[in-house]
Amino acid sequence: MSEEILINITPMETRVAVVENGVLQEVYIERTRRRGIVGNIYKGKVVRVLPGMQAAFVDIGLERAAFIHAADVVPANRPNGAEVESISSLLHEGQSLIVQVTKEPIGTKGARLTTHLSIPSRYLVYMPHTPHTGVSQRIEDEVERERLRNIVESVEPEGADKQGGFIIRTAAEGFGEEEILADTHFLYRLWGAVERRCKGAKNKSIIYEDLPLFMRTMRDFVRPEIEKIRIDSRENFTKLKEFVQEFVPSLENKVEYYPGERPIFDLYGVEDEIQKALGRKVQLKSGGYLVIDQTEAMTTIDVNTGAFVGHRNLEETIFKTNLEAATAIVRQLRLRNLGGIIILDFIDMEDPEHQRQVLRLLEKNLERDHAKTKLTGVTELGLVQMTRKRTRESLEQVMCEPCPTCEARGTLKTPETVCYEIFREILREERAYGSDTYLVLAAQPVVDRLLDEESASVADLELFINKTIKFQVETLYSQEQFDIVLL
Ligand SMILES: [Zn+2]
């Protein structure tokens, strides 16, 4: 598996593409004007305590107040496993509170907060309020887990009292004491700076902000087998190089400045692939296709065979299509950054061995996903249920907005439906006000239909109300919009 990272930076946005074997697998977009806020630490002010919900709203200076649950509030001392105190005993209105964002505000929901602060570095996550060492579950070897735990527990912070604890990230696996200890010292220093800033800060101000996207990428998910990291901004190339030297020296020789005349995202057709990732339909090589629907509650992905399927090898064709889909689906989940509950509707297969193989391939592909995923079961109807951790917005949420023409339904009323609405409206107006002449303003397809297929109905209506009805195309109207003017 060859992996390459392309970084495209303009003053307005940063985009990072993860390309595996020449195929775009993931894309991360950070708009300068609306950088993600997960991981940011704020000094907030409690604006409302909601005892019924065991929660509170905290103003951290964003458009919407953020939300914190009692279980996410660190009390003075709560022994492990003790029951969570009532929110009113933990927080009161007007109180200042140091909080960290755990979930981006999405749609009408405000950000989600915690006071269990954590600050990540390459190999570790430092938790200043949690005196406990944890090891990522994805490091499976017991000996390795113990080795890493011993290194971290041996740390003596410089100057400060030993406080807080560390989580050992998957990236630490196989790394030496020196690298890991360098990380602990870096985090102690960083935390010292954050604490000092907390003391001086005003309410509703930001205390600590995570690294910009292109550096986070290096810190969080560059794998050792990565071949190349290309970046098209000279200024940021220098910053990236410095960052890599300090935190991920093994990558130092893999970072390259890309001065190319072709835009960097034209390599591997990345730009086209991003456009395609906004569509509902995904074509498969075998002739089949996926249909992806995102709703607020869940995402469904439907697998379909191509139009022409011979009878003789039907089961074989279906099996092949499902196998291809098992790879394509995981790619789409990563590319579109779909999260939450996901329902996969593979084509029905008779052979249980085929079913097992499709599921196994799906699981294998999911191992490469940077987001945490879980297959939660196969329903009686053969639907595969899974979850994928959602932290940031999906590609669609970053790049698109609901369609104002159809109000995000995805369909428009047909001209026929709009014509009948117009007839009913004319009758209503006639009863209420009456007029000599009615002028209907509507979109082109609606007026076309009124003058053609519906012309007999229009004539009947004119006869019935004994008035004249005129039509005028209004080019600015959507198909569903119309106006009736009394002349
Ligand atoms: Zn629409």
CA distance 67 to 110: 6
Compute the distance from residue 279 Cα to the ligand 1 centre, in Å. 13
From residue 131, give the alpha-carbon distance in Å to each of 83, 171, 342, 480: 19, 21, 36, 61
The confidence score (pLDDT) of residue 310 equals 62
CA–CA distance, 461 with 469 (Å, rounded to integer): 9
How far apart (Å, rounded) are the C-alpha atoms in residues 339 and 103?
12
CB 91 within 8 A of CB 73: yes
Domain range list for the chain: 3-35+211-270, 43-208, 279-399, 415-486
Q: What pLDDT score does 361 carry?
A: 96
pLDDT at 454: 95
Distance (Å) from CA 300 to ligand 1 centroid: 19
Q: Ligand 1 mean position to 65 CA, how many Å?
A: 31
In single-letter form, the type of residue at position 214 comes to F
Q: Considering the chain, what percentage of its residues have pLDDT values greater than 70?
A: 95
The angle, 0 to 180 degrees and rounded to 10, between the axes of the packed helices 455-465 and 415-432 is 10
Question: Ligand 1 center to residue 414 CA distance, Å?
Answer: 13
- For the segment 445-471, the average pLDDT, to the nearest whole number, is 94
C-alpha of residue 408 to centroid of ligand 1, in Å: 5
Angstrom distance (rounded) from CA 281 to CA 301: 10
One-letter amino acid of 218: M
Q: How far is CA 473 from the centre of its chain?
A: 41
pLDDT at 195 over 80: yes
Q: Are the C-beta atoms of 128 and 157 separated by less than 8 Å?
A: no
- Biggest alpha carbon–alpha carbon distance for the chain: 95
DSSP 328-355: HHHHHHHHHT--EEEEEEPPP-S-HHHH
Mean pLDDT over each residue of the chain, to the nearest integer: 89
Whole-angstrom Cα distance, residue 206 to residue 98? 10
Q: Is the pLDDT of residue 340 over 70?
A: yes
Distance 404 CA to ligand 1 centre (A): 6
Q: How many CA atoms lie within 13 A of 334 on its CB side?
A: 25
- Element at 58 (helix H, strand E): strand 55-59
pLDDT greater than 80 at residue 82: no
Distance 401 CA to ligand 1 centre (A): 10
Strand partners, 220: none
- Distance (Å, whole) CA 60 – CA 354: 52
Per-residue pLDDT at 56 exceeds 70: yes
Q: Which two tokens stand for residue 45?
A: 């002010």
For residue 388, the surrounding DSSP H or E stretch is strand 384-388
Express each pLDDT in 71-81 by its tens digit. Answer: 899 875 666 66
DSSP 109: B
* CATH number for the domain formed by residue range(s) 415-486: 3.40.1260.20
Cβ partners under 8 Å of residue 114, min gap 6: 68, 72, 99, 100, 102
Measured between alpha carbons, how far is 328 from 304 in angstroms, rounded to an integer? 13
For the structural domain made of 43-208, what CATH number should be given?
2.40.50.140
- Tell me the pLDDT band of 96, cut-offs 50, 70 and 90: very high
How many Å apart are CA 359 and CA 450, to the nearest integer? Answer: 53
Q: Looking at residues 371-389, what average pLDDT do you find?
A: 87
Classify the C-alpha dihedral 362-25-255-222 as positive or negative: negative
Nearest to 175 by CA among 214, 206, 136: 136
The pLDDT tens digits of the residues spanning 243-255 come to: 888 777 778 899 9
Class of domain 3-35+211-270: alpha beta
- Cα-trace Rg, the chain: 29
Is residue 159's pLDDT more than 60? Answer: no
Strands 437-442 and 468-473: parallel
**Distance in Å, CA 410 to ligand 1 centroid:** 5
